[in-house]
Amino acid sequence: MTINEERNHLISLGTDKMVKIWNMQSYTNIQTIVDKICYRPDDILSSMIFEPATNNILLCSRKINYWFFKTQEESKTSHDAPVAFALYNTEFENVVSGSDDGFIAVWDIENGRQLTKFGDAHGKDNKITAGTFDETQRRMVSAGSDGTVKIWNFSNGSSLKNLLSADGDPKVDKEVTSLLCVYDPDWKDEKNPKPSFFVAAGWEKRLRIW
C-alpha cells in the first residue's frame, strides 16, 4: 500500500495485479486499475509506490512500470460516463451528480472542486437513471436501470436503505426514470410530523410511493 497525501487517497495492490484507489475519509473505492500485462515466469507485481512529484504510480515486477494518475484538477470532464442527473443542495450548498457508470459525485459550488465520489451505487453494470433529495436535503435518493431505488448519506457515500430492490422479480425489474420528493413546506402542526413521500416512475407503467 501507499498514500497520495495531497488527495487523501490510499492506494492498494492485490495479488491479482489489481490496483485500487480509496478515499480515506469515506472508505470508498473511487477507482480500480487492472494490469493486464503478463509478466513471465511468475506473473506477479511485487511492489508499488506513488511518486507525488511526477504524479505516477510505480509498479514493479521484473521491470518498473509507470502509471500516470490523473488528478481531479487535470480532468477535462466531471465524469467518465454520461451524467444522468445534477442536483443542487441548498442545505450544504453543494452540487451532487450521478453518471451512467454508477458513480455519484459531490461538488463544491464555490470553486468546482470534487469533495467526494463513490461508485457501484446500483451494482455492477447498472446505470444511475435518476436522483432527488429528501425534504431536509440531508439524504439523497437514487434510482438504477435495474429498477432499484436507494437512500444515501451522500456526504460520505454510505447506503442507508433500499426502498425498492429488483431481486430478480420481473414485476419490478424495470428502469426507474424519474424520482420526486413530495412534502408540504408550510406544514406547521407541531404535534404531528411533517408528511413526506418519495415517488418513483419508470418503464413498468406505474407510480410507486413511499
* Integer-rounded Cα radius of gyration of the chain: 20
pLDDT at 180: 92
**Residues 114, 72: contact at Cβ < 8 Å?**
yes
Task: Report the candidate in 44, 42, 40, 37 with the shortest Cα–Cα distance to residue 16.
Answer: 44
Distance between CA atoms of residues 50 and 68, nearest Å: 10
> Model's pTM, two decimal places?
0.58
pLDDT over 70 at 66, yes or no: no
pLDDT at 96: 93
Of residues 125 and 3, more confidently modeled: 3
pLDDT over 50 at 182, yes or no: yes
pLDDT at 175: 86
pLDDT over 60 at 58, yes or no: yes
Question: Per-residue pLDDT tens for 72-119?
Answer: 444 567 788 899 999 999 988 899 999 998 889 888 887 778 888 888
Question: Per-residue pLDDT tens for 121-156?
Answer: 888 778 999 999 998 888 999 998 888 899 988 877
> Can you give 32-59 as a three-state secondary structure string?
EEECCCCCCCCCCCCEEEEECCCCEEEE
Report the mean per-residue pLDDT for the chain. Answer: 82
Dihedral sign from CA coordinates of 175, 199, 162, 81: positive
Beta carbons within 8 Å of 91's beta carbon, 6+ residues apart: 136, 137, 138
Distance between CA atoms of residues 126 and 143, nearest Å: 10
DSSP letter for each residue of 132-177: EE-TTSS-EEEEETTS-EEEEETTTTEEEEEEE--TT-TTT-S-EE
Of residues 199 and 78, more confidently modeled: 199
Judge if the upstream peptide bond of residue 52 is cis by omega within 30 degrees of 0.
no
pLDDT over 70 at 196, yes or no: yes
